[in-house]
Amino acid sequence: MARQDRAERTRRALLRAAADEIAEKGYAGASLARISTAAEVTIGALTFHFASKAALAEAVRDSGCALTRSALASLMSAGARPKPGVHGALRRVVTFTRALARLLEEEPTVRAAARLAWDFPGDGNTWYAMWLPWLGDLVDRARADIAGWTTSEAVTATALSVVTGAEFAARIGVPRGATAGLSPWEHVDRVWGLLLGARMPLLVGGDETSLGSENPMSGENPVGAGAR
């Protein structure tokens, strides 16, 4: 049992070190030597757990996708039916993107999984491909909220753009002087607030229903409220 525990700790350390390395340098720039050094294990121990760099990257991607899937599944099923007249379905789209931004900020394996999606765009099992169907479902439910002033395609494109921006902000930081001090998910709030503030004043308001007061990783905010 002690040997199994030690092996599991080693594997977790390798996944964390590999996630940091891949998120920063990409697959091509990632070094197994640096990963093993960061994890404080030998190259032999690394190759015992992961036969190749590709196998290690796949495990990192799977870990990041699994973490994202679990968090979003909780959000999609949490909460009560939204109050009428406050664009509840569209607010869930916003909160969904906010949750993704927070995952990108806080979880190295999620950042690495997102980076690998750019390194291997032809792979059908990418981090983006994993959550896009959920986003599409939320946008479909928001049709009544957006009828007459925009389209589902425009909302989807905007959501994808703000998540992509959050990914780059989480990975490389914000340029000096450009809203310094804001986290990636706070940047998401600012973008949505600029685009939707006039139609969704609660998005940028100060009451308890504002998205600004919600923690998207707490499982308590209403991304999945009213889900069928």
Residue 226: pLDDT band (50, 70, 90) is: very low
Q: How many domains does the chain have?
A: 1
pLDDT digits (tens, 9 = 90+) for 178-213: 555 677 777 788 888 887 765 655 444 333 333 333
Distance from C-alpha of 22 to C-alpha of 141, rounded to nearest angstrom: 36
Is residue 67 in a domain?
A: yes
| Residue 122, domain CATH | 1.10.357
Within a domain: 49: no
Rg (CA), the chain: 19
Structure tokens that stand for 103 in this block? 């995952």
Q: Hunting for tokens 């600004």 — which residue is that?
A: 212
Nearest partner of 115 among 202, 28, 8, 2, judged by Cα: 28
**168 vs 54, 128, 228, CA distance in Å?**
23, 14, 33
Reported pTM: 0.80
- Domain that residue 185 falls in: 61-213
Instruction: Say whether pLDDT at 106 is over 80.
Output: yes
Distance, in Å, from the CA atom of 47 to the CA atom of 10, rounded to the nearest integer, reads 12
